[in-house]
Each structure stands twice: as structure tokens, then as C-alpha cells.
Structure 1
Amino acid sequence: MTIRSLLTALLGLGLLFATPAMAATSPAKAFSATYNVLRGGEPMGVATIQLRAAGNGQWLYSKNVKGTSGLAAMLGANVSESSRFRWKGDVPEAISYDYEMQAAIKHKQRHLVVDWTNNRVSVDEGKGKQSYPASPGMVERNTLALALGLALRNGQQQIALPVAVRQEVQTQNFEVIGRETVTVPAGRFNAERVDRTDADHGFSAWYAADRYLLPVKISQHDGGDLVMELVSYTTR
């Protein structure tokens, strides 16, 4: 693996302030989940994902990936993502999103904020801010996996989500293509496989939505042959 491909892979793992949330109750409980991260079938790191209430009707969703093997460990490569959102029905509607990738030779960050009063998204990557219109029920890339899990729990088979990316709100489409048996460190699951259908990035996720809101396995080929496998999932 080259250093460039490693950094591209870490960027691919990342597969918005506002008024208080309108939902009176939360459709999800606080949780903590741990994943093994592999690239090309080889161990690369460990990911920890947490969801917790932040008060004032808002929630925090964080993902931290630490390079533990190979070049990722040698470069001290780490990725942290933090999202603040409010519930809009069963959708984690975005409020803010922060991304930071640190390695021995490179540092990259992104700060995304939603001003729901004026329906504008602002994105800053350190090279000047960009702004574009917000869309109701919008998520961002960090909370996308959670939004898909909630939709599957509600029985949806075809899912279209507005996702705030760097320059626009992009509608991303997903579909349940069947059930497959998946074995990961957390166990053996008869899981629903969900594929993204509007892009050629090769994104697939396997969910046991009756047990966990996050996938038990994720496979993503954009930025490298990346796989995340569930190790543990604990509600709090």
C-alpha cells in the first residue's frame, strides 16, 4: 500500500448549528459500537462509533478510526468525525459535522454547519467557505449509516436520502437487494444487504436492523477496498 492510497482510504471512511429539535422523543437509544477496519483483506485499524444525547433536543454521533496495523500504524494515521443533529421524525437531521484526518505527513479537516433559520449550509475546509441551500430531513456522510438503519427498521426497502456533501445536497439512493448470511467478530447474522444504486462506488452494507441500528458489515470500494466488521455493540 502506498502512502497516497492509505490517505485516500482514510478519507473514504468518512462512507451541519440550529434551533432545538422538534421531536419530543428519540427513535434511538444511546450506544457504542466497535469495528475492525480492513483494506484489501488485511487489518488496518479499529473504529469506535458512539451515539449520545447532547441536551437541548440535540444528539452527538461520533466516529473515531485509529490506524493499528501496517502503514496506517506507522504513520500514526487517525480519523475523527463528529456530528450534531436533531431528530426529524426518524431522521437524524444535520446540525453540524466535523471531520479531521491526521497522519505524520498530512492533516485534513472539514467543518460543516447548517443555519436552519436561513436554510443554508456552510462548509469550510481551510481554503475559504462555501455555502449552498439546505434541504429538510438532510443528513451528512457520518450519520448516513444510522439513517439507513432507522429506515430499514421501519421496513423500507428503497431509501432516498438528501445528504449534505462538500458543494451541495445530494440525493443518494439505496435498495435492499436481499438477505445474506454474514459472519463477523460480533457473530453470525442473517442480514439485509443494502446497495447504493445511483453511483459506481461499490457501497454495500449488511444490517440486522431488528438488533442493531448500525450495519454488521460495510464494504466500500471508493478510495480503496475497505471493509468494516462489527466487533461489539452496546446500548446505554
Structure 2
Amino acid sequence: MVRLALLLGLAALAPAAAQASGPAPYEARYEVLRNGSVLGEAQVTLRQTGSDTWELSSHTRGTQGLAAVAGADITERSTFRWSGRGPETTGYRYTQKVAFNSRERSLEVDPAAGRIVSRDRRDEHVLPYTQGVLDRQIVPVALARDLAAGRQEVEYPVADRREVETQRFRATGSERVEVPAGSVDATRVERVRDPGAGRSTTIWLDPARDYLPVRSVQRERDGETIEMRLVGVER
């Protein structure tokens, strides 16, 4: 159960239409696997809430094995604005419930005050505001936009619990992948990490559907793997 928190980060790999005016609304469903076995399912929804504001929400729940027995349930909600530079987070909230335990995290972005307030249970950290800052859930929204614009290597400032870190990604070519939604000729993207990090993140995105992520694989230092595969999407 210690890796259940990873489900939500991967559930964030949701579709985004790379348009100058912002992404198109959608609902997408993914199956979630742990070490090759189905563990649960994730539903991701994007909706426009204003002329330049959007909300991205995800709900991941355990349906098999210990995840089902423990009633694993994770929700994540991001609000963001869209400008000519792409998305920027305005707020983020994460809630995880497993058995009798629960956990909450949040981010509040305040450009006027030049700060980002990060809360995790009783801990609170004030981080410096960075223009174009993202939370982990909307990183793929920015990634889809940049791939559609022809960029092969990108980097983003991403706010986490205690810092704003730079995350780098690189497109490494085209590859056919098989997912429940069908066979897809996808663009393979890898997160660039420091040598010896011992972790890897790989995402396959469909250029024919606005770089919708169709598969993702996260490998941890201990060899554990969390994978997501697209089941279906509705625009």
C-alpha cells in the first residue's frame, strides 16, 4: 500500500488539446496497474470554468486486491489559468483515503504576494512564486501543448510540498503501444533525471488526439512499477 500515492500522480496524465485558446474539455478513463496486475481505475475530467480558467480533477480508486479491500480512494483537483505561455496553476488539492487513514495536501498560488503556500497535514511551507508555475497534475497539459508546437525538450517549474523544482522532459521518438482503447502510434517522452536517480518516468502520447497520454510507466528504486493505460475518452 505504500505506493498508492503514486496512483494520483500518474492519474494526472490526462489529455489536453494543444490550442492557443486553451485545452478542450474531456473525460478520460484509465486502468491502473501495479507490477503488471490491475490495481484500480482512474477517471480524469477537464472543464472550462471561465474565459481563461480551467479545472482538472481526477478520481482514482482501488478495484482489485489489497487496494480494493482497503477502500483506496484518491482525489486530486487543480485550477489553472491559460495565457499565451500556456497553463499556470492557481490552486491544487490532494486527498487520499486508505482504510482508516487519510491525507490531504494543497497549494495556493498568489502572484500578487509573490508566494506559493504549500500545506501537508500540519506542515506549512511558503515558497517563492515563479511565473508559469505548475502543480504535478497539470504538467501533461503543458507537455501536450509543447509537443504540438514541435518542441522535443522542455522544462517546467513545478511546485511540490517543500520547493519549486525544475522538471525536464525529452521526446525520444515514435512507438506503437497497445492499450485497452486500441493500438496507437504514440510519441514516447521520458522525464530527464540526474544519473543514478534510480527512478524513471515514461509517457506515450497520441499526436492524432492532441497528444493525449495513452500509457505511462513509473519505475521506483525498489523495482516497483505503476502503470496506466487508456481505456476510453470522451470530448
TM-score relative to the length of structure 2: 0.89
Q: Cα deviations across residues 54-74 of structure 1 (Å, max 9, x unaligned)?
A: 126311001110110010000
Counterpart in 1 of 2:30?
35
Q: What SS does the aligned partner of 1:7 have?
A: coil
Contact 2:8–2:75 (Cα < 8 Å) also in 1: no
- For 1:208, which of 206, 209, 232 is the aligned residue? 206
Question: Are 1:38 and 1:228, in contact at CA under 8 Å, matched by a contact in 2?
Answer: yes
Matched, 1:218 2:216: yes
Output one character per residue of 1:197-224: Cα deviation in whole Å (capped at 9) or x when no partner.
1243210000113314431000011383
Asked whether the 8 Å contact 2:25–2:48 carries over to 1, the reply is yes
- The answer to whether the Cα contact below 8 Å between 2:85 and 2:132 also exists between their aligned partners in 1 is no
TM-score by length of 1: 0.88
CA contact (8 A) 2:120 2:161 kept: no
- Aligned-residue sequence identity (percent) comes to 36
Residue identity matched to 1:226: I
1:19 paired residue number: none
Q: More deviation in 39-48 or 144-153?
A: 144-153
Work out which of the residue numbers 55, 59, 63 in structure 2 matches 1:64.
59
- Flag structure 1 segments of 5+ consecutive residues without an equivalent: 1-5, 16-24
- The answer to whether the 8 A contact 1:35-1:228 is kept is yes
Paired position in structure 2 for 1:233: 233
Question: SS at the partner of 1:13?
Answer: helix
| 3-state secondary structure, aligned to 1:210 | helix
Q: For each residue in 1:11-65, what CA deviation from the matched residue of structure 2 results, as whole angstroms up to 9, or x when unmatched? A: 45324xxxxxxxxx73211011100000011000010011001126311001110
Q: How many correspondences in the alignment?
A: 221
Q: Select 1:49's aligned residue among 39, 44, 52.
A: 44
Q: Are the aligned partners of 1:12 and 1:222 in contact in 2 as well (CA < 8 Å)?
A: no
Pairs within 5 Å for 1:1-236: 6-11=1-6, 13-15=8-10, 26-55=21-50, 57-89=52-84, 91-199=86-194, 200=197, 201-222=199-220, 224-235=224-235
Aligned residue number for residue 15 of structure 2? none
CA RMSD in angstroms, aligned pairs only? 1.6
Distance 1:129 1:173, change over 3 A: same
Q: What is the Cα deviation at residue 8 of structure 1?
A: 2.2
